Amino acid sequence: MTDFRSDTVTKPTKLMLEAMMNAKVGDDEYSEDPEVNSLQDYCADLFGMEAGLFVSSGQMGNQIAISILTNPGDEVICTEGAHILSYEKSAAAQLSGVQIKQIKSNNGMFSLDVINNAILESKYHLPSISLLSWENTHLASGGSMLDHNSFISISKDIKEKGLNIHLDGARVWHSILANKIDPKEIGEVVDSLTFCFSKGLGAPIGSMLLGSEEFISSARSIRKVRGGGMRQVGVLAGAAKYALDTRDKLLEDHIKAEKIASYIRDSQEPAIEKVVYMGTNMVFVHFDTKESASIFVESLNRHEILLGTFKPKIVRIVTHLDIEEEDLDKLFSVL
Q: Provide the CATH number for the domain around residue 23.
A: 3.40.640.10
- Provide the β-strand partners of residue 77: 101, 132
CATH (domain of 270):
3.90.1150.10
Q: At a CB cut-off of 8 Å and minimum separation 6, what does 122 contact?
A: 75, 128, 129
Query: Where is the domain boundary, 245, 280, 309?
Result: 245
In the prediction, which pLDDT does 122 show?
A: 84
Query: Where is the domain boundary, 220, 245, 270?
Result: 245
How far does CA 106 lie from the centroid of its chain? 18
pLDDT tens column, 139-187? 999 999 999 999 999 999 999 989 999 999 999 999 999 999 999 999 9
pLDDT tens column, 210-228? 999 999 999 999 999 999 8
**Nearest of 256, 165, 241 to residue 203 by alpha carbon:** 241
Q: What mean pLDDT is predicted for residues 80-108? A: 95
Query: Where is the domain boundary, 188, 210, 245?
Result: 245
pTM of the model: 0.95
- Cα separation, 168 vs 52, in Å, equals 15
Question: CA geometry: angle at 249 spanning 264 and 86, to 5°?
Answer: 65
How far does CA 55 lie from the centroid of its chain? 14
